[in-house]
Amino acid sequence: LNLEQQLARQVGRLSMVSEVVSSLNKSTNVGSSLGEALEKLSTVLGTDAAVIWLPNLSEPGGEMFLAEQRGLPDPELATEILAQVHCNDAWPEDGLRIHTALVPGRLAAGPANALTVRLGRAGEDLGFLTVLKWSTSFGPVDGAILAAVGGDIGASLRNVRLLAEARRLADRDPVTSLYN
18-64 per-position pLDDT tens digit: 776 676 666 666 666 788 888 888 888 889 999 998 888 776 666 88
Of 24-28, 106-110, 139-143, which one has max mean pLDDT?
139-143
CA distance to 10, 58, 95, 114, 125, per residue, from 157 (Å): 27, 15, 16, 23, 11
Q: What is the pTM of this model?
A: 0.79
Q: What is the DSSP string of 24-65?
A: HHH-S-HHHHHHHHHHHHHHHHT-SEEEEEEE-TTSTT--EE
User: Does 113 have pLDDT greater than 80?
Assistant: yes
* Sequence-distant (≥ 6) Cβ neighbours of residue 125 within 8 angstroms: 55, 62, 118
Strand order in the sheet with 128-133: 64-70, 49-55, 128-133, 112-118, 96-102
- Closest to 117 measured CA to CA, from 38, 31, 36, 35: 38
Find the Cα–Cα–Cα–Cα dihedral 126, 146, 65, 37, rounded to 10°.
100
User: Does 125 have pLDDT greater than 80?
Assistant: no
User: Does 1 have pLDDT greater than 70?
Assistant: no
Instruction: Tell me if 162 sits within 8 A of 27, measured CB to CB.
Output: no
145-171 per-position pLDDT tens digit: 888 888 888 888 888 778 878 888 888
Specify the pLDDT at position 15: 75
**What percentage of the chain carries pLDDT values higher than 90?**
4
Specify the pLDDT at position 30: 61
Q: DSSP letter at 89?
A: S
The chain-wide mean pLDDT, for the chain, equals: 80
Specify the pLDDT at position 131: 92
Specify the pLDDT at position 150: 84
